[in-house]
Amino acid sequence: MMPPPTKVIAVLMVWLCASAQGCTRAGSPDVTAPPVVQLYAFDGGSTFIPDKSMFHAAYAGQGAIRLPVTAFLIVHPRGTLVWDTGHSDSFARPGAKVPDRYLIRVEKTLVEQMQTVGITPAEVDYLAFSHWHFDHTGNANLFTRATIIGQRDEWEYAFSPDAETGFGMKPDTYEALRDNPTDLFVGDRDVFGDGTVRIVRVGGHTIGSQVLVVRLADRVVVLSGDIYHFAGQRTHQRVPPFNHDYEQTLAGMRRVEDLLASITNARLWITHDPEQMAQLRYAPEVYR
């Protein structure tokens, strides 16, 4: 005997509701409702730069600058993604050895900050870096179970012999990731397949630099990586002399600006900018 039509409809509605990850209050399915995405910011320490002119000759005579370092966690119904990992937690120890040219400060470990939102590195599904410089891969070795998502050429360079002498790369900070599962490509990637979290290739700063676009309920956040280091660099489109490729950097800057212009209520977070990062709400506070 076939079940009554009303029962079939009710069961179908429950299934649709679960598949769409949300229903209206009346109980009807809402298949167009976007998933709830949460964004957490972590304090990844800071780097003291004794001479700001290292970023461009126009900054000669402006003295030193301390750049904040940030890391992020995106929580999506289909998984968790860590974007950059900050300076190594080992620098938080008294007397920790730091690179000669820089003065690194880490006051809160990434592990401790992740604990405040109820997650450990072993529970993270995906790991991506704006690029593989040491202030972004400092805690990478903690995430040996995560799938690495990113540019194939950046990954290949990071694990090549050249990385030992490449500016800013410290292979010992990510050596444990060599056998991680990977999702490598050249270009852009919709991480969860629904447009809420997208990786966009920009290149320039390193061979495979990328930015992350996160669609929240009330805004779209673009995490800059090192396409810019601070606001003044963006204002004048100034390319650091140490970047991988000058023209690619300018093209990447233009791509980011075009991206921002094409998205309603998009905001660029320049993740090394001292003033902007000082205004950020850090975990356990959350952006939705």
Q: Is residue 286 part of a domain?
A: no
Q: What CATH number should be reported for the domain holding residue 268?
A: 3.60.15.10
Q: Is residue 2 part of a domain?
A: no
The whole domain housing 209 covers 8-278
CA 216-217-222 angle, 5° bins: 25
Strand order in the sheet with 103-105: 103-105, 38-49, 65-76, 79-83, 126-128, 147-151, 182-185
pLDDT given for residue 2 in this prediction: 39
Q: Is residue 177 part of a domain?
A: yes
Q: Is residue 183 part of a domain?
A: yes
Q: Is residue 130 part of a domain?
A: yes
pLDDT given for residue 156 in this prediction: 97
Q: Is residue 285 part of a domain?
A: no
Which H or E run contains 257? Answer: helix 246-262
pLDDT of the chain along its 288 residues, tens only? 434 443 333 333 333 333 333 333 333 344 456 689 999 999 999 999 999 999 999 999 999 999 999 999 999 999 999 999 999 999 987 766 666 566 899 999 999 999 999 999 999 999 999 999 999 999 999 999 999 999 999 999 999 999 988 778 999 999 999 999 999 999 999 999 999 999 999 999 999 999 999 999 999 999 999 999 999 999 999 999 999 999 999 999 999 999 999 999 999 999 999 999 999 999 999 999
E strand residue ranges, 177-269: 182-185, 189-190, 197-201, 210-215, 220-223, 266-269
pLDDT given for residue 167 in this prediction: 78
State how many domains the chain has.
1
Question: How far apart (Å, rounded) are the C-alpha atoms in residues 203 and 205?
Answer: 6
Q: Is residue 22 part of a domain?
A: yes
Q: Is residue 61 part of a domain?
A: yes
pLDDT digits (tens, 9 = 90+) for 111-166: 999 999 999 999 999 999 999 999 999 999 999 999 999 999 999 999 999 998 87
pLDDT given for residue 99 in this prediction: 64
